[in-house]
A and B are shown apart, each in its own frame.
Chain A
Amino acid sequence: MIILDLLGMFTIAYITGFLYYGLYRNITARFQRRFGPPVWQSFFDSIKFFTKNDSTSHGWMFYLGPIIMMSGAIMTLFFIPFFSSGESFVGLSEYGNLFLVLYLLVLGPLGNALGVGTAGNPFGVMGVTRGLSRLFALEMPFYIAVIAIMSLSGSADIGTIASQQTGLNAIAYPLLFIGALFSFIGMMGQSPFDVVGAPVEVYSGPASEFSGKFLALLMSQSAIFTFAKLVLMVHLFLGGASSFAELLIKTFILFVFVIAFGSMYGRFKTPQSIDFLLKVPTLIAVVGLILATWS
């Protein structure tokens, strides 16, 4: 039974993730006054990459990097329930808690960083270095907001936090939500905090040495991971969901907001983004935490 549940979660996240990725490419295309590719293009691309024969590998650690990343993404997905109550699509969430999920969110990228390091491609390591230098600043507002929410709900269980909201947490505690949203934009790899992958420039970033089936695996994990992060955010701030329709609508609204934000702003350099994140969103979140928990 639990196996079916997990398989269901995986399939839904996989398909929805790729659908969202296709929509992302279309929406950003419209922002730039051009027509994007067909919605399922990325999905077909990943399938095609899986069958490519000429991918290069740099030894076993390189081989394991993307696999650890995929495992990390799937783990994150399984420890976040889809619905705020009910028996179906809960995954393994009853065995974990929000602290575990916060760590699982960084488990995959760090595992892949080992693969990137093994390849010995300086452009890959450049991306990892940027990502890690920025990581603590990026996570900070999110952590503060999550701590406040946990303390207010008196629970570290994601389902409980989602179902306990009378109004939406986002409206009840707007400052916390705004702070967390800045982090979330960065976690989704959107501008102005997208210096890690740095698309459009000379290819640098963690993915630069991966080709063929490795790239396909990275694309698939990105789809799953995106969906898992969206679901987490919906549970924490947008009142959770009780049906698929509600879940899809809420995640989609959040997703569109994030990519719209991303396509409007330019990119920060690493020190700039650290500076900004530690000043503005962190302070907003700290004020939010003090206002929300002052009693």
Chain B
Amino acid sequence: MDFSTFGLADIVLSLKATHLANFFAMLIAFSFVMVTFLSRNYKLTKSFYALFLLLSASLFLIVYANDYLLFFIGWEIMSISTYFLLSFSLSKEALHKYIIFAMTSALSIFIAILILYSGTHSFLYADAHRSFAALGDTEGVLFATFMLFGIFVKLGTIGFHYWLVDAYEESQNFFTPFLSAVLSKMGIYALIILTTQVIELSYTLAIIGVITSIIATFKAIQEDSVKRLLAYSSIAQLGYIVTILGVADGMSGALYHALIHTAVKLLLFINIAGIIFITGRGKFSELGGLIYKTPQSFVLLLVGIITLAGMPPLGGFASKFMIYTSLMDAKHLLILAAVMFSSASAFLYIYKLIYGVYLGHPTNKHLESIKEAPWSFLVPQYILALLVIILGTYPALVVPYFNKILQELSLHVVNFSDYATLSSSFAEYNGLVVMSAFGAIFVLVLLLFVSLRSRAKNVKDRFDIAYCGEEPNESTHLHYGFSMGKELKRVGFINTIYKNSVKPFYDYIADQTLSFSDIFKKIYSGNLRNNFSIAVIFATVLLWWSQR
């Protein structure tokens, strides 16, 4: 689109279908289809669907935009339509938090874009690098700060995650999978554009990402609400992507992890939505012992958590492998150690997720008459589970496609020999061998074990356990461990994470803003005569300034 008829000759708005944009558009479209399966279980109004479609359209606008102006328009529509979508279920406080953060983020990105525009008077991505080079030092730093602030708020990077956890917890169960799987990816997309087209941020990103993932992981361990735990987990997983984007050859790892994270968060949030739908409860302390009531959901969640943990033989390992080897290759050894630390701490909340909901004992009578979740919850989960299993077996299946993206961004391509072998410049592994070896060993051990002459007696009574010679009954507290990780508070540095919160900081900001607005209120008091005179003075000053 050309604006020369309006006298804005150098503003060009255009769309461009790059491979990178196609990849993210595919993630959006895929998640959209997966989420719509759920809609038949929720009685949502027409306006909800209209807004949902508007939101999806704005996401496509963001990824296909070829310049920062159109990108910003998409970003703004996304933020506002999300606000209205969230307003269906969020409490007033959470909603206020969301809109303030979203608007600050959008505004800050807008400022950054205008600063960049001052370089070569062009919004195009193609000119962005030149524009940045034309900026002075101060403007350059300001641009990077405003841009990163805007992106980090969207990603919920630690410090800016204040809105995210509440919004995830209280949003419609129908909408949460989409929030986590897709909306957060827009931050990643913006970051990829920023790091590949404009500036390299190297260590800054790597360190911010690692700190985010460690703190979010420990915060997740403490949560009692299932959705809050998953929200923190989402922050931590995005932290890995931010880390890897700060590394020279990290793009393939970032894309791979974005793909896996989209799939796995859809799976987990849809699974939990199903559990909340059939039980009406969303806290670990109110759930438990559902495994034999909802066996399909259990197995699907199991696939999800194995992927989330990055365990072989499923797809999660492939993306973790890419991340680790890229960091190794770039010699960021301590950052790699920190990423592995965060990854190992994640096992705790991952086990809590499956134990608290499905294992142990039911925490109340209500849970003993639960039936399996409806098929509309299970179908998308089966598709997603199949996807991560295929990616586990043939981890290099997406590599040829990633190579196209990497070529387009003129980065080093990943070695590719066959679909089963995922290789980076540092090491390689064969997913097919790992999967089939594990499968064969498992089946062999199972067959040998079943064919033993000795028989195991399956006890139906859940109280029939070895309990120190005592006989537990209904009133015995047996669902031990849904608050696991509490003892971590006794460890000094971990307790520092738990004790500190960003709440006091933002409360302080809010107080200061309120007292500032009090001063403002005295001048702009709502009295009509006062307002009129202020308007006249303002107009006079404006006129004087324009004629100067």
Contact = CB atoms under 8 A, between A and B. Distances in A.
A118 interface: yes
A125 B481 contact: yes
A135 B325 contact: no
B438 interface: yes
Nearest to A141: B337
Given A117-B354, A271-B490, A97 B427 contact: yes
B437 A140 contact: no
Interface string A262-295: 0000000011001100100000001001000100
B340 interface: yes
Interface stretch (A34-42, A210-218, A226-234, A249-257): A210-218
B289 A120 contact: yes
A24 interface: no
Interface stretch (B1-9, B18-26, B174-182, B309-317): B309-317
Contacts of B480: 122, 125-126, 129
A132 B311 CA distance: 15
B434 A100 contact: yes
A244 to B, nearest CB: 24
B478 A122 contact: yes
A52 B454 contact: yes
B446 interface: yes
A244 B382 CA distance: 47
A56 B456 contact: yes
Given A99-B427, A156-B427, A114 B459 contact: no
B289 A151 contact: no
Contact of B466 (A57, A110, A121): A121
Interface stretch (A25-33, A142-150, A162-170): A142-150
B328 A75 contact: no
Contacts of A104: 312
Interface in B301-353: 302, 309-312, 317, 320-321, 324-325, 328, 331, 333-334, 336-337, 340-341, 344-345, 347-348, 351
A63 B458 CA distance: 9
B457 interface: yes
A67 interface: yes
A278 B465 contact: no
Contacts of B445: 67, 70-71, 74, 217
A271 B355 contact: no
Interface string A99-141: 1101110110010011001111111011011001101100110
A78 B340 CA distance: 23
Interface string A54-69: 1111110101100110
Given A59-B292, A61-B291, A110-B309, A68 B442 contact: yes
Interface in B256-293: 289, 291-292
Nearest to B440: A71
Most chain B beta-carbon contacts within 10 A, residue among A103, A211, A270, A278: A103
A133 B348 contact: yes
A92 interface: yes
Contacts of A143: 337, 340-341, 344
B499 interface: no
B291 A135 contact: no
B485 interface: yes
B453 interface: yes
Contacts of B479: 120
In the A-B complex, list the 3 residue pairs whose CB atoms are closest, starting with the nearest. Answer: A117-B359, A156-B427, A122-B480
Given A96-B430, A106-B347, A133-B485, 12 more contacts: A56-B464, A57-B459, A58-B459, A61-B291, A71-B445, A92-B437, A103-B317, A110-B311, A125-B481, A133-B484, A140-B341, A140-B344
Interface of A: 50-59, 61, 63-64, 67-68, 70-71, 74-75, 78, 92, 95-100, 102-104, 106-107, 110, 113-114, 117-123, 125-126, 128-129, 132-133, 135-136, 139-140, 143-144, 147-148, 150-151, 155-157, 202-203, 208-209, 211-214, 217, 270-271, 274-275, 278, 286, 289, 293
22 contacts: A55-B457, A58-B465, A67-B442, A75-B438, A95-B434, A96-B434, A100-B321, A103-B310, A104-B312, A106-B311, A110-B309, A113-B351, A120-B462, A121-B467, A122-B481, A125-B480, A147-B328, A147-B336, A203-B468, A209-B466, A278-B491, A278-B493
